[in-house]
Structure 1
Amino acid sequence: MISLSQRLDQYLALRRSFGFDLAFPERVLRKFTAFADDRGDRHITTDLFLTWKAAYGSASNATWANRLSMVRGFSRWLAEHDALTHVLPAELIPGRKHTRPAPYIYTREEIGSLVAAAAALPSVYGLRSAVWQTVFGLIAVTGLRINEALNIDRKHVDLDRGFLQVEKSKNGTGRLIPIHESTTERLTSYAAVRDRILGPTDGRFFLKENGTPAGDCGARYNFAEISRVVGLRGPQLYQRHGTGPRIHDLRHTFAVRTILGWFREGREIDREMYKLSAYLGHVQPEYTYWYIEAVPELMQLAADRAERRYRGYAS
């Protein structure tokens, strides 16, 4: 009989054929199927998921809701092939309703400290530090998602004209990202270090010292490490990441500071938001408007502007 790990291979291959980026879900699902295989379970059931949850370790309901959604998607596919598989109920995790966490807005000093700490990461040839200071700095100045940055190929980087091409974003669409001259200089500097160490290569732009692509797992590990160095996360045992501001908050910070600048310059926010929405790769502009609601300073600026307009209409 086919094991759940073998079924997972089929499921992941199918979804990747549709263009999905499954690096993080695969890590979670591999742990789930390995647990099931060790127990001799061949079918996904509610009891199996809850037993795995009890054995896997403590985490918030939000984290377990996310894990549930991954396993639930797998169970929904597998139920089409295996009559004994249960499609896990969406309400299995109490309080599963999704709420977006409030973004952490980095100060310029904090971003500078993070990039400096990344530049000091130890490595044999120096490529580790070059990769991560460049990746984290790039996200801070462009608002790219972490996997968008890591998935950029060399052919998608035009340093002469100052453009990056995101071939496939979270939503399956591509876009061009114009970058500042200072960013092209930083990317050029990194590329020179990479080519000196690895020689000319094709494929991904950001590579590790063994020549393989820099990945999401390494990004989160190194970001946790430099976050502890600069005091944004506390010390952890057993190489745990801990909690604190995330890589994704660099994207949030970019968006919030862009909108704040527009308010202070007196620009027409509704018109500008469509530009930012396209730049960030949002499918719908309301996803970009969320930043105004999520950050008190922006909410107050929006309220003040609305009140001024109302007074103008009333007078």
Structure 2
Amino acid sequence: MKKLSQRLDQYLALRRSMGFDLSFEERVLRKFVSFANDNGFQIISTQLFLDWKASYGSADNNTWSHRLGMVRQFAFWLAEHDDRTEVPSSQLVIGRYRRRVPYIYAPSQIVAIVDEAGRLPSPYGLRAALWQTLFGLIAVTGMRVNEALSLSRQDVDLDHAVLTLRNTKNGKDRQLPVNGDTAHRLAHYAKLRDRLVAHQSSAFFIKEDGEPAGDCGARYNFAQVSRNIGLRSPQAFNRHGDGPRIHDLRHTFAVYTILDWFRDGRDIEAEMYKLSTYLGHSEPKNTFWYIEAVPELMQLAAARAEKRVLEGAS
């Protein structure tokens, strides 16, 4: 049975092969594993973390929440190799900020969302076409909801099937190519929009009153669709309720893209930099985060890394 220190070496080597800068995280985890070895712990457990926290010195909850997140990531990976591993609960320490674990929609759920949006009632039928097209566009491009809503007519080049996103979250413009089916659906919406609404703004996505569709409307209609298909529980007073979010369509696009790369045997690190640019991330680490956030991706990455080690040793 390998020692925790040996498992940590494997874990750090795997994540470095994905492009992560681990200088700070390694220092924290080395101290954690050293404490475990010095105190007779052979596996990761909740008690190990609590004992380490009690003896490590004073720090605020934000610091300990960050350290807990590092230990949990290591434990999730280790659990695939040693079923005795206990992943400490994220509720052991509550910090100010914790990145939300993405909800990854099944393909059938995405189809259900788009289909149900097409049944939203309105006097002229534009509401259904608007939100069906918008939700579908986010699902197949991974763009942020506000990026999609900010598209002007000039930004949607249907002849060349290219969308131009301006003044994005990171202050940069970028272009997204779309496939022929997506361009066809955008054209269908635009044709219906222009036929039904006489006085319009310059926005590509507009409501039946001719005004631009907004973020609140997107989230309200997405919540209603989600309730209709059972992804959220019924709510009184038109409340949104809790459940998978519209932004999780973006996460789902990214995860399925990376999964396809693993299955195709592509160079993940090289492809991830392309995806980072496509998604408009400020730093590649925000894209590599998906590998850590989704267990299946982490397992695939670990399996590939171990295969390389075995091939190198043969």
Scaled by the length of structure 1, the TM-score of the pair is: 0.69
Question: What residue in structure 2 maps to residue 98 of structure 1?
Answer: 97
Cα deviations by residue, 1:76-98 (Å, 9 ceiling, x for unpaired): xxxxxxxxxxxxxxxxxx94432
Cα deviations by residue, 1:157-203 (Å, 9 ceiling, x for unpaired): 00010100001111111100000000000000000110001137451
The runs of 4+ residues in structure 1 deviating greater than 4 Å are none
One-letter amino acid of the counterpart of residue 229, structure 2: V
Q: Which protein has the larger Cα radius of gyration, Structure 1 or Structure 2?
A: 2
Say whether the 8 Å CA contact 2:137–2:182 is kept in structure 1. yes
One-letter amino acid of the counterpart of residue 274, structure 2: K
Question: What residue in structure 2 maps to residue 271 of structure 1?
Answer: 270
Question: What residue in structure 1 maps to residue 155 of structure 2?
Answer: 156
Partners of 1:96 and 1:224 lie apart in 2 by: 28
CA gap 1:218/1:202 in 2 versus in 1, 3 angstroms: closer
Question: What residue in structure 2 maps to residue 119 of structure 1?
Answer: 118
Corresponding residue SS for 1:169: coil
Cα deviations by residue, 1:182-231 (Å, 9 ceiling, x for unpaired): 00000000001100011374511000000100000000000000000100
Question: What residue in structure 2 maps to residue 220 of structure 1?
Answer: 219
Question: What residue in structure 1 maps to residue 259 of structure 2?
Answer: 260
Scaled by the length of structure 2, the TM-score of the pair is: 0.69
- Greater relative contact order (Cα < 8 A, sep 6+): 2
Say whether the 8 Å CA contact 2:164–2:174 is kept in structure 1. yes
Partners of 1:101 and 1:285 lie apart in 2 by: 18
Corresponding residue SS for 2:151: coil
Say whether the 8 Å CA contact 2:141–2:250 is kept in structure 1. yes
Cα deviations by residue, 1:242-292 (Å, 9 ceiling, x for unpaired): 000000000000000000000000000000001100000001111000000
One-letter amino acid of the counterpart of residue 140, structure 2: V
Question: What residue in structure 1 maps to residue 167 of structure 2?
Answer: 168
One-letter amino acid of the counterpart of residue 251, structure 1: R
Q: Is the aligned partner of 1:295 residue 2:294?
A: yes
Question: What residue in structure 1 maps to residue 189 of structure 2?
Answer: 190
Say whether the 8 Å CA contact 1:138–1:183 is kept in structure 2. yes
Question: What is the root-mean-square deviation in Å for CA atoms of aligned residues?
Answer: 1.2
Question: What residue in structure 1 maps to residue 19 of structure 2?
Answer: none
Question: What residue in structure 1 maps to residue 233 of structure 2?
Answer: 234
Say whether the 8 Å CA contact 1:221–1:241 is kept in structure 2. yes
How far apart are residue 314 of structure 1 and its match?
2.1
Corresponding residue SS for 1:133: helix
Partners of 2:137 and 2:167 lie apart in 1 by: 17
Corresponding residue SS for 2:238: coil
Say whether the 8 Å CA contact 2:198–2:210 is kept in structure 1. no
Say whether the 8 Å CA contact 1:154–1:202 is kept in structure 2. no
Partners of 1:299 and 1:96 lie apart in 2 by: 25
Q: Percent identity?
A: 59
Task: Spell out the pairing of 1:123-134 with structure 2 (5 A cutoff).
Answer: 123-134=122-133
Corresponding residue SS for 2:176: strand
Partners of 1:228 and 1:138 lie apart in 2 by: 20
Say whether the 8 Å CA contact 2:145–2:247 is kept in structure 1. yes
One-letter amino acid of the counterpart of residue 305, structure 1: R
Task: Spell out the pairing of 1:19-34 with structure 2 (5 A cutoff).
Answer: none
Unaligned runs of 5+ in 2: 1-92
Partners of 2:190 and 2:95 lie apart in 1 by: 44
Partners of 1:202 and 1:246 lie apart in 2 by: 28
One-letter amino acid of the counterpart of residue 299, structure 1: M
Question: What residue in structure 1 maps to residue 312 of structure 2?
Answer: 313
- What is the aligned residue count? 222
How far apart are residue 108 of structure 1 and its match?
1.0
Question: What residue in structure 1 maps to residue 27 of structure 2?
Answer: none
Question: What residue in structure 1 maps to residue 137 of structure 2?
Answer: 138
